[in-house]
Amino acid sequence: MRIVVTGMGVVSPIGTGTEQFWAAATNGVSGIRKITSFDASGQRSQVAGEVAGFDPATFLSAKYIEQTDRFTQLAMLATKLALEDADGLDTYAPERLAVSMGSGMGGFATFESAALRKFGNRPIPPFTVPRTMANSAAAWIAIKHRIKGVNLTCSTACSSGANAIGIGLDLLRTGRADAVIAGGAEGCVLPLTMTGFEVLHALATGSNADPARASRPFAKGRDGFVMSEGAGILILEKEEQARLRGAKIYACLAGYGQTCDATHIVMPDMSGQVTAMKGAIQDGGLGPESIDYINAHATSTPLGDIVETRAIKTLFGDRARDIPISATKSMIGHSIGASAAIGSIATIMALHTGTIHPTINLDEADPECDLDYTPNGAREKNPRTGLCNAFGFGGNNASILFTTLE
């Protein structure tokens, strides 16, 4: 039984909708700008990947807007786009449809707003808790689209979206669902959230005057990741049922690997990353020699990019230098729980179109990052298999394997 992707929806700093997102990605467009959603003059990091022109009133009623956090609204738009792309799921019974969502931070915009109101002796809105809870995006997707099957939320920091997609794969394989809406969403371009990452020395702070250059995965002199927001949603189905309803098929979701470093709460460990990638490949019935492309986690942190490079070299050996790699975050920044969901869409589109998008801002690579990162220009390579990596705080590592139908 093969599991296939029949619809995709993305809301990102470089475009809303797969067509717009992919055109910008292959052209190496940066979506990093000076922050506009709040006064960031007091922040050490004053740039971010914001979704420009996002207006929930164009697709949600006033009631929905009042009761939902920004991350939920981003998720709901991505879901709407994915369902439209898949031509709907009306052929399935509502009880056989599932939602598997990932978010590392949940409704933090609501949380920060409520905290400010509390300390300012102002009343807290009645929907503060429902807006804040991490499972609110999955719940509202189910309510909006009458999805009555399994409804799950995965919160494993930066690997949340990847694990949510992997859980979707498991739900279909085990027969607990006939189709799954799976992905991730995050909306935490926020002062408190960013300050928290700043004190960990995790954010880029040296490019406030040149935002488009701020996210520099694998580059010499990179100084941290750029906070971002967005959502990515996949529609997953069993191939036989997808073909019966005449759905178009983008790719197969072939494998999923997940590990925990069990070593440090924020520092990455190479062995856990190796095991996650190896697990995804084995789960898909393949070997390392079969991998044609890697969409790297590649946040642009000094340590993280080196550790991921070493992990790839350890698993693939001498062949690692022949595998094209690219970092979607070089253009959109790091959207935490949404990052691997958006990265999965980039991986699928690489297989679907034959084009690998570039890693931008890679004029001079870190000497310890010495692989083929597809620097600064897209490449026609026609990959047949692709890995999407996601490594998060808590030592949570996830890797997803996608393949073409052939």
pLDDT for residue 117 is more than 80: no
Q: Which pLDDT value is given to residue 118?
A: 66
Q: Are 10 and 20 in contact (CB under 8 A)?
A: no
Whether 119 has a pLDDT exceeding 70, the answer reads no
For the record, the structure tokens of 51 come out as 């979704």
Question: Is a pLDDT exceeding 80 seen at residue 340?
Answer: yes
Contact present, 165 and 340 (Cβ < 8 Å)? yes
- Nearest to 347, CA basis, from 10, 2, 1: 10
Annotated catalytic residue within 334, 352, 357, 388: 334
pLDDT beyond 80 at 120:
no
In whole angstroms, give the CA distance from residue 129 to residue 111: 8
pLDDT of residue 114: 81
pLDDT in tens, 288-298: 999 999 999 99
Residues with Cβ within 8 Å of residue 305, at least 6 apart in sequence: 217, 218, 222, 298, 299, 366, 369
pLDDT bin (cut points 50, 70, 90) of residue 382 is very high
pLDDT tens for residues 225-235? 999 999 999 99
Q: Is the predicted pLDDT of residue 121 greater than 90, yes or no? A: no
Q: Which domains does the chain have, with CATH numbers?
A: 1-394 (3.40.47.10)
Q: Give whole-number Cα distances, 268 to 261, 298, 394, in Å.
A: 8, 12, 9
Q: Report whether 131 contacts 363 (CB < 8 A).
A: no
In the chain, the amino acid numbered 89 is: L
- Mean pLDDT of the 24-30 span: 98
Do the Cβ atoms of 124 and 71 come closer than 8 Å? no
Q: What is the pLDDT of residue 126?
A: 85
DSSP string, 215-238: --TTBTT---B-BBEEEEEEEEEE
Instruction: Place 381 in a pLDDT band, splitting at 50, 70 and 90.
Output: very high
| Mean pLDDT, residues 23-42 | 98
- Average pLDDT of 23-48? 98
Q: Identify residue 234 by its one-letter amino acid code.
A: L
Output the pLDDT for position 116. 67
CA separation for the pair 349, 390 (Å, rounded): 18
Asked if 201 is an active-site residue, the reply is no
Q: What is the mean pLDDT of the chain?
A: 97
- Is the Cβ–Cβ distance between 96 and 177 less than 8 Å? yes
CB 169 within 8 A of CB 115: no
Beta-sheet pairing, 3-12 with 229-238:
antiparallel
pLDDT tens for each residue of 316-335: 999 999 999 999 999 999 99
Catalytic member of 297, 357, 369, 388: 297
pLDDT of residue 88: 97
Catalytic site residue 388? no
Q: What are phi and psi of 303, to 5 degrees?
A: -80, -45
Residue predicted with more confidence, 398 or 110 = 398
Give the active site residue among 158, 188, 252, 369: 158
CA distances from 349 to 22, 316, 354, 371 (A): 7, 23, 8, 22
Length of the chain: 406
Are 32 and 40 a contacting pair, CB within 8 Å?
no
Q: Is the pLDDT of residue 198 over 90?
A: yes
- Tell me how far apart the alpha carbons of residues 231 and 342 are, in angstroms, rounded to a whole number: 7
Coil, helix or strand at residue 66? helix
Count CB atoms within 10 A of the CB of residue 3. 21
**Catalytic annotation on 334?**
yes
pTM: 0.97
The three-class DSSP label of residue 398 is: strand
Pair of tokens at residue 187 = 């909306």
